[in-house]
Structure 1
Amino acid sequence: MTGIRSTPKATLSAINYVSVVTHYRNGTQDGEQIKAVLVTNHTDFNYTSGTNSFALVKLEKASKTNSYELQRVSLEVWDNEDCSRFFAIDDTMVCAGGTVASAQGTYQNNLHLFAIMAVASVSDAVRSDATHTKLPDEQVRQTLTRDYSTLRFRIEYHNFFSNHLLHAVVALHELGASERKITDYATFYAQKLEEEGSDHEDVVEHPSTIDILSDEEAQALLGKRYNYDALLAYYARDVKKLGADGAVRKHLPHLFGGLAGALLHGLIQLGYAYHIGGDRLVAEGLAYQHHCYLSFDEPPMEPSKEPLRVLTRQEAVKVAAAVTSNEFLLSEQDRLMSTSPLKEMDIGWIQRGVNAFSAHPERNSRAAFELIWSQINAFDFSRFDGCYALDMIMWLYTMIDHNDFTVLHAVTSAWSLQQLEHLLSPSDCAKAWRVWLHVALSALVTARIHDFYEEDVCSPSGDLEERLAALPSWSQLRDKALAIPGFPDEHVYKMVQVADAHANGDYHTEGAMSGYVPFLSREERDFVARTAALKVIDIPFKSIINQPK
């Protein structure tokens, strides 16, 4: 007999151990106890109805016990019509065993419901390293979908705060956190979320419970932050039909112009969902980007009469300083945030400030919007990509004297867009990065950042190798982040995860394009990323209770 051990409230996908050749139901008094490292549900498993409720379980090591004779038991098989009086069944199930108490019309003596299945023997050609602490991606996808998705928790809470549970779990997973660490953190974080009721419909698995929006109806909901479930069903249909890549290719060109929505969290949700995978999670990300869309679409503008410039470090800090000290931008933002309709919007001062620089006709300053665009359109974006964007924004993050919460979002959103950029055409990719930079500069102005270092953090280059060697290694930084006591802000984990991924990324662009000059060299990138990770771990965020003056 084989038994399964899990936590008291766990479902099949949360299996911890398997007991082989055990007689007792609790599975601990005899037999072999072997850790389960991966659980793969049947692809048509339905959590609500229980259809196809079986899974393949990959064990940490092979069992020492083999059954050379197929085990069997004789049971009476019931007609499905009779069985349906006692169980909700479908064609994947069969009833067997038990007897009927005719007077009561009930069943006695262990009538059981069985799944109909056939499973062949499976073995791995290559065994995974049992000492590796990082959980399998598939296990994390299952947990996210079952326990932490919008099946259970709403995408926003307290009117305008974005649900970060997906990002936190993925970041912890990428840092190598244990299953216990991830579960404990998710349980803590979920306390502040708004949980769905028991009658909440699963519009992904059961789209028949809701009328699927037409394209025109979906367009009417763009940026309205209303009827999220209808949008989820709309995008889930295309993810099922086209696959995750196909759905993102189809819809992202119409969505990246609004990536500023919810302080970039629509994009961040989609990027993290796409990175870990899972059709439901990707559909949730697309739906949220649509739900919170805030237009920063590029306006028709005259081409620059000057040759396009390269966005070097010198140019980047010059542009950042120029917009954050521009009196017109500051006064326009103050004016709009203190008057209707922005003043009455319950979305927090950061989102109100970004709205003031958007293309929204009722909330923005058109002159301020075009002023920032004129700065951006002076630069050449033909070779601007995720690597370049992360180099630049992470370098700017380390060039600020304090630990800035707003700029951190520009970093994690750049990483998120980097996950998706290969699904965009070259022209759309350049447009998306221009929009992203416009939003990042708008966030810099909103945060009133003035304390940039005068000297490049990578200078002098002569002793960079020595300074890099003095910093903690990446394994030490990951351990340091995971060892922070209690439950730190999830953005700490996200920043360390992004910095680690960027520093250790395999970027083929460098040297592949003639004349391509990276924003940072590989050594500088590693130094900046480690510095950023150490900064977010060691230095508290500057308060965001009120907008700085």
Structure 2
Amino acid sequence: MLAVYAFVRRLSCLRRTTRIYVSRLQTTKLVCSSNFKDNRQFTMSTVTSLGSSWLKEILEEQSTQNHYIEYRTFFSNHIAHGIIAIERLGGDQNRVKRFVDDYKNKVNLEPPNHPRHNDESTDADPATDDELHKLLGQRKLFYKLRNRYIMKLKEYGSLEEILRAEFPNLSRGLVCSAAHGLIHTGYGYSARCPTTVTEGLAYLHHSCKPLIFDEKNSDNDISHFGKGDTDILVILEELAKDEQLRIFMKEEAVKLSKSDWASGGFQYKVAALMSVGDNLLKYAYKIKVPVMESFKDEADLVVAVADWLLNQSIAVYALSDMKNNFFLLHGVTAAWSLRQIIPVLKPADAVDALRTFTCALLAVYVSQECPALTNKPKVPQSDVTASDWTDVINEVLSRDTDEHIYKLVQVCHDLWREKDCSNMADIYLHAAQTSMDNDLSFGNVS
């Protein structure tokens, strides 16, 4: 895809590849277990084991037991994602520890008892059913939520079962906190780390900002998802011309910034757009998802759609003339994280999550003023080799850089390694090189 740039082929491939991504936000009925007895033994090691004992130990050491999930009010703690990404890139224990030290030197992570969240306690009683409902999206009492999800995991008995039961209740809120709850959960599951997964679910619950739309309107029925007749590139062009939507986004973001919800300009803009989900669905349902016609088995289909969405998110990031945009990069790592979770969900829940993810990432694209997609790869698809990737990985692991760069390179390398004959090979490499060759751009955040 997007490998040959003769005009006709280039247009066709570009349209197939520039798919936008969206996160799933849901505030409806949580599946809650009834009365739990007080149990403060919140260690997770007996539930699911990791393949690497040292990785497990480092993730436990750097968990929210020692560092709060946020710092400086609304910035998200990324340390677990960076640890997992570097290990997946082949970094050994010493390399991961070097990252941990560097990250802590650059970021002032806050202890659980920091004055900024002095009503928090790591040994807080797990939230009750009633508290779960009341705390949804309220951005407080993270440890009550985390400890309840730890209790839930013990009851469900496996990561797969807790994700299958609990993730659908939160997935319409995935865009919250710049998709960090989704990313935390997906990276945790990729490493089969119970601690990180339960932290991620709690963070989704803590910060949930849902996709809101009229569910009684037949035009919004989920049966329309993926069955449009318009190429993704055309839809992006339509979004770029929707001045009314952008004006609404900016005006509503100003209102949100004056509320008691502490966040950043980007999150206010995306939350504003997610509050008018009918508008986003109008665009999302026009998109033709080619793989919808290729699979009869529902389980295979949702995985194929997740793969397609991931490829489109990478293409938009890589081709954007706003090089190394922080929020488009987040679209990539969020799409990869969702792809980790999709196979364990019931097909209907998976489709709902993929639909919301599509809407949220359309919102992200609009929030960044719909950048042109003109930054073409320098290396042709057919010329990408294992040696190219060896050079990229050696280079990125030699640097002490922003943790997002490790994650972006890791995602693209994972996909190339799995599909090295893919016609996305040039895009994967181009995305990785773009992340390393350009400073992170924060685009339109005000």
Shorter-chain TM-score tier: 0.7 to 0.9
Aligned partner of 2:382 among 465, 472, 479 = 465
Instruction: State whether structure 2 residue 147 is matched by structure 1 residue 233.
Output: yes
2:98 to 170, 173, 184: 184
Choose which of 130, 134, 138 in structure 2 pairs with 1:220. 134
SS in 1 for 2:100: helix
Match of 2:431 in 1: 532
Give yes or no for contact 1:304–1:378 (8 Å, CA) kept in 2.
no
Give yes or no for contact 1:324–1:448 (8 Å, CA) kept in 2: yes
Structure 1 counterpart of 2:412: 499
Partner of 2:172: helix, strand, or coil? helix
Alignment partner, residue 395 of structure 2: 480
CA deviation after TM superposition for structure 1 residue 217, in Å: 1.7
- Could you tell me how far apart the structure 1 residues matched to 2:238 and 2:155 are? 47
Matches within 5 A, 1:37-76: none
Q: Is the 8 A contact 1:337 1:343 kept in 2?
A: no
Distance in 1 separating the partners of 2:350 and 2:273: 22
The 1:529–1:195 alpha-carbon spacing in structure 2 relative to 1, beyond 3 Å, is same
SS, match of residue 357 in structure 1: helix
Structure 2 runs not aligned, ≥5 long: 1-40, 293-300
1:138 aligns with 2:53: yes
1:318 aligns with 2:211: no
- In the alignment, is the contact (CA less than 8 A) between 2:84 and 2:187 conserved in 1? yes
Q: 1:424 to 1:458 in 2, by over 3 A?
A: farther
- What are the equivalent positions in structure 2 for 1:415-426 lying under 5 Å apart? 415-426=336-347
Structure 2 contact 42–147 (Cα < 8 Å) conserved: no
Deviation of 1:450 (Å): 2.5
| Amino acid in structure 2 at the alignment position of 1:230 | K
Partner of residue 269, structure 1: 184
CA distance in 2, matches of 1:389, 1:405: 18
Normalization by structure 1: what TM-score?
0.63
Which structure's residues are more often helix, by fraction?
2
Amino acid at match of 2:133: Q
- Cα pair 2:253 2:272 within 8 Å, conserved: yes
Instruction: Give CA-to-partner distance per residue, 1:222-242, whole Å, 9 cap, x none.
Output: 111110111011110111121
Q: 2:307 aligns with which of 358, 371, 387?
A: 387
What's 2:17 paired with? none
Structure number with greater CO (CA < 8 Å, separation at least 6) is: 2
Residue 489 of structure 1 is matched in structure 2 by 402
Structure 2 counterparts to residues 141-540 of structure 1, below 5 A? 141-145=56-60, 147-191=61-105, 192-197=108-113, 202-203=122-123, 210-242=124-156, 243-297=158-212, 299-300=214-215, 301-303=217-219, 315-339=231-255, 342=258, 345-359=261-275, 366=276, 369-379=277-287, 382=292, 383=301, 385-401=305-321, 402-453=323-374, 464-466=381-383, 468=384, 473-484=388-399, 487-505=400-418, 522-540=421-439
SS at match of 2:177: helix
For the residue of structure 2 that corresponds to 1:212, the secondary structure is coil
- 1:543 Cα deviation after fit: 4.0
Distance verdict in 2 for CA 1:170–1:311, change over 3 Å: farther
Aligned length: 379
Query: 1:417 deviation in Å?
Result: 0.5
Q: Is the 8 A contact 1:228 1:291 kept in 2?
A: yes
Cα offsets for 1:237-274 (capped at 9, x unmatched): 11112121111111011011110110111100100111
Contact persistence 1:412–1:494 (CA under 8 A): yes
Deviations 1:114-135 (A, max 9, x none): xxxxxxxxxxxxxxxxxxxxx9
- Measure the CA separation in 1 of the matches of 2:444 and 2:72: 16
Q: Using a 3 Å threshold, how does the CA distance of structure 1 residues 303 and 339 change in structure 2: closer, same or farther?
A: closer
Give the Cα separation in 2 of the matches to 1:47 and 1:344: 32
How far apart are the structure 2 equivalents of 1:247 and 1:439?
A: 24
Q: Which has the higher strand share?
A: 1
Considering only CA atoms, is the larger Rg found in Structure 1 or Structure 2? 1
Q: Contact 2:220/2:281 (CA < 8 Å) preserved in 1?
A: no
Task: Give the superposition deviation at 1:343.
Answer: 6.4
In structure 2, the residue matched to 1:206 is none
* Structure 1: 5+ residue stretches without partners: 1-45, 53-134, 204-209, 360-365, 507-520
Counterpart amino acid of 1:448? E
Alpha-carbon separation, structure 1, partners of 2:259 and 2:151: 38
Distance 1:311 1:535 in 2: 32
Q: Is the 8 Å Cα contact of residues 458 and 528 (structure 1) preserved in structure 2? A: no
How far, CA to CA, are the matches of 1:448 and 1:342 in structure 2?
Answer: 22
1-structure distance, mates of 2:121, 2:131 = 20
Q: Provide the C-alpha distance between the structure 1 equivalents of 2:62 and 2:220, rounded to a whole number of angstroms.
A: 48
> What is aligned with 1:61?
none
Letter in 2 for 1:391: N
> Structure 1 residues 479, 299: closer, same or farther in 2, change over 3 A?
farther
SS in 2 for 1:417: helix
- Cα deviation code 1:141-170 (max 9, x no counterpart): 12111x100110000111101100000111
- Residues 373-410 of structure 1: per-residue CA shift (max 9 Å, x gap): 11112346644522111111111112212221111111
Distance 1:341 1:537, change over 3 A: closer
Change in 2 beyond 3 A, CA 1:183/1:303: same
Contact kept in structure 1, 2:172 and 2:356, CA below 8 Å: yes
Q: Which amino acid aligns with 1:528?
A: I
Residues 415-446 of structure 1, C-alpha deviation per residue, up to 9 Å, x if partnerless?
A: 00111101211111111011011111101111
